[in-house]
Protein backbone atom coordinates (compact mmCIF):
# COMPACT_ATOMS: atom_id res chain seq x y z
CA UNK A 1 0.00 0.00 0.00
CA UNK A 2 1.20 3.50 -0.80
CA UNK A 3 -0.46 6.86 -0.30
CA UNK A 4 -1.14 9.29 -3.11
CA UNK A 5 -1.66 12.85 -1.93
CA UNK A 6 -4.22 14.56 -4.10
CA UNK A 7 -5.03 18.24 -4.49
CA UNK A 8 -8.30 19.19 -6.11
CA UNK A 9 -8.31 22.19 -8.44
CA UNK A 10 -11.40 24.43 -8.57
CA UNK A 11 -12.63 22.90 -11.83
CA UNK A 12 -12.79 19.44 -10.17
CA UNK A 13 -15.12 20.73 -7.43
CA UNK A 14 -17.91 18.21 -6.82
CA UNK A 15 -16.36 15.38 -8.83
CA UNK A 16 -15.60 12.08 -7.09
CA UNK A 17 -11.92 11.42 -6.48
CA UNK A 18 -10.40 8.47 -8.34
CA UNK A 19 -11.23 5.25 -6.53
CA UNK A 20 -11.04 1.52 -7.17
CA UNK A 21 -14.37 0.26 -8.50
CA UNK A 22 -13.85 -3.27 -7.13
CA UNK A 23 -11.59 -4.75 -4.46
CA UNK A 24 -9.38 -6.28 -7.15
CA UNK A 25 -9.16 -3.30 -9.49
CA UNK A 26 -5.65 -2.27 -10.52
CA UNK A 27 -6.70 1.16 -11.76
CA UNK A 28 -8.67 4.08 -10.36
CA UNK A 29 -10.83 5.80 -12.93
CA UNK A 30 -9.95 9.34 -13.91
CA UNK A 31 -12.80 11.72 -14.68
CA UNK A 32 -12.98 14.57 -17.15
CA UNK A 33 -13.01 17.91 -15.34
CA UNK A 34 -14.54 19.78 -18.25
CA UNK A 35 -17.10 22.49 -17.61
CA UNK A 36 -20.76 21.47 -17.27
CA UNK A 37 -21.82 23.89 -19.99
CA UNK A 38 -19.02 22.94 -22.34
CA UNK A 39 -19.70 20.06 -24.69
CA UNK A 40 -16.29 18.80 -25.54
CA UNK A 41 -16.31 16.87 -28.78
CA UNK A 42 -13.49 14.75 -30.10
CA UNK A 43 -13.89 14.49 -33.83
CA UNK A 44 -12.69 11.33 -35.58
CA UNK A 45 -8.89 11.44 -35.69
CA UNK A 46 -8.73 14.34 -33.21
CA UNK A 47 -6.63 14.31 -30.04
CA UNK A 48 -6.97 16.57 -27.00
CA UNK A 49 -5.51 16.99 -23.56
CA UNK A 50 -8.39 16.46 -21.14
CA UNK A 51 -8.03 17.98 -17.67
CA UNK A 52 -8.73 15.90 -14.57
CA UNK A 53 -8.64 18.85 -12.16
CA UNK A 54 -6.31 16.88 -9.90
CA UNK A 55 -2.71 17.27 -8.87
CA UNK A 56 -1.07 14.31 -7.19
CA UNK A 57 2.11 13.63 -5.24
CA UNK A 58 3.37 10.06 -5.33
CA UNK A 59 5.69 8.64 -2.72
CA UNK A 60 9.32 8.34 -3.87
CA UNK A 61 9.81 5.11 -5.82
CA UNK A 62 6.28 5.17 -7.26
CA UNK A 63 4.96 6.27 -10.63
CA UNK A 64 1.41 6.44 -11.90
CA UNK A 65 0.38 5.23 -15.33
CA UNK A 66 -2.50 6.82 -17.20
CA UNK A 67 -4.04 3.95 -19.12
CA UNK A 68 -7.02 3.71 -21.47
CA UNK A 69 -10.35 2.17 -20.52
CA UNK A 70 -11.14 -0.86 -22.66
CA UNK A 71 -14.85 -0.02 -22.85
CA UNK A 72 -14.18 3.37 -24.46
CA UNK A 73 -11.68 1.79 -26.83
CA UNK A 74 -14.01 -1.01 -27.91
CA UNK A 75 -17.28 0.95 -28.10
CA UNK A 76 -16.00 4.26 -29.42
CA UNK A 77 -12.38 3.82 -30.57
CA UNK A 78 -11.34 6.36 -27.94
CA UNK A 79 -8.04 5.70 -26.22
CA UNK A 80 -5.01 7.37 -24.64
CA UNK A 81 -2.61 8.36 -27.39
CA UNK A 82 0.53 8.03 -25.27
CA UNK A 83 -0.56 4.95 -23.33
CA UNK A 84 0.60 4.38 -20.75
CA UNK A 85 1.15 8.00 -19.81
CA UNK A 86 3.75 8.41 -17.10
CA UNK A 87 3.15 10.52 -14.00
CA UNK A 88 6.51 11.07 -12.35
CA UNK A 89 6.75 11.04 -8.56
CA UNK A 90 8.05 14.63 -8.61
CA UNK A 91 5.39 16.00 -10.98
CA UNK A 92 3.18 18.59 -9.30
CA UNK A 93 1.13 19.82 -12.24
CA UNK A 94 -2.40 18.81 -13.14
CA UNK A 95 -2.83 15.25 -14.34
CA UNK A 96 -3.95 15.34 -17.95
CA UNK A 97 -5.26 12.63 -20.23
CA UNK A 98 -4.32 12.72 -23.91
CA UNK A 99 -7.33 11.19 -25.61
CA UNK A 100 -7.58 10.35 -29.30
CA UNK A 101 -10.65 9.33 -31.23
CA UNK A 102 -9.79 6.45 -33.56
CA UNK A 103 -13.51 5.82 -34.13
CA UNK A 104 -15.69 6.82 -37.06
CA UNK A 105 -18.05 9.07 -35.06
CA UNK A 106 -17.55 12.24 -33.01
CA UNK A 107 -17.19 11.42 -29.30
CA UNK A 108 -18.71 13.71 -26.67
CA UNK A 109 -16.89 14.11 -23.37
CA UNK A 110 -19.11 15.18 -20.51
CA UNK A 111 -18.11 16.48 -17.10
CA UNK A 112 -17.35 13.64 -14.69
CA UNK A 113 -17.11 11.00 -17.40
CA UNK A 114 -14.58 8.29 -16.66
CA UNK A 115 -12.06 8.69 -19.46
CA UNK A 116 -8.98 6.73 -18.32
CA UNK A 117 -7.55 4.89 -15.36
CA UNK A 118 -4.62 5.52 -13.08
CA UNK A 119 -2.39 2.62 -12.06
CA UNK A 120 0.13 3.31 -9.30
CA UNK A 121 3.24 1.17 -9.57
CA UNK A 122 6.72 0.98 -8.07
CA UNK A 123 9.68 1.74 -10.30
CA UNK A 124 13.43 1.43 -10.07
CA UNK A 125 15.93 3.96 -11.33
CA UNK A 126 18.95 2.43 -13.06
CA UNK A 127 22.52 3.51 -13.62
CA UNK A 128 23.82 3.24 -17.18
CA UNK A 129 27.17 1.44 -17.03
CA UNK A 130 29.01 1.72 -20.35
CA UNK A 131 31.04 -1.36 -21.36
CA UNK A 132 33.31 -2.27 -24.31
CA UNK A 133 31.14 -5.23 -25.36
CA UNK A 134 28.13 -7.04 -23.93
CA UNK A 135 28.12 -10.74 -22.99
CA UNK A 136 26.89 -13.25 -25.58
CA UNK A 137 23.51 -14.96 -25.30
CA UNK A 138 21.58 -17.64 -27.23
CA UNK A 139 19.16 -15.00 -28.53
CA UNK A 140 21.84 -12.58 -29.52
CA UNK A 141 20.36 -9.86 -31.73
CA UNK A 142 17.28 -11.94 -32.61
CA UNK A 143 14.04 -10.09 -32.04
CA UNK A 144 10.95 -8.73 -33.75
CA UNK A 145 9.51 -12.18 -34.46
CA UNK A 146 12.79 -14.09 -34.76
CA UNK A 147 11.38 -17.07 -32.80
CA UNK A 148 8.56 -17.63 -35.30
CA UNK A 149 4.83 -16.93 -35.11
Ligand X SMILES: O=c1ccn([C@H]2C[C@H](O)[C@@H](COP(=O)(O)OP(=O)(O)OP(=O)(O)O)O2)c(=O)[nH]1
Shortest reach from residue 91's CB to ligand X, in Å: 3
Task: Please indicate if the annotation marks 86 as binding a ligand.
Answer: yes
Q: Which is nearer to ligand X, 10 or 93 (CB)?
A: 93
Strand bridging mode 94-101 / 78-80:
antiparallel
- The contact set with ligand X (CB under 6 A) reads 66, 82, 85-88, 91, 95-96, 98
Task: Tell me whether residue 58 or residue 103 sits nearer to ligand X (CB atom).
Answer: 58
Judge whether 140 is annotated as a binding position. Answer: no
Determine whether the annotation assigns residue 101 to a binding site: no
Q: List, as residue ranges, the binding site for substrate.
A: 69-71, 82, 86-88
Amino acid sequence: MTTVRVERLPHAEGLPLPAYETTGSAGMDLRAAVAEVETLVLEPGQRRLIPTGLKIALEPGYEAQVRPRSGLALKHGVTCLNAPGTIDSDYRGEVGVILINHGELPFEIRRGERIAQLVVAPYTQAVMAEVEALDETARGAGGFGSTGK
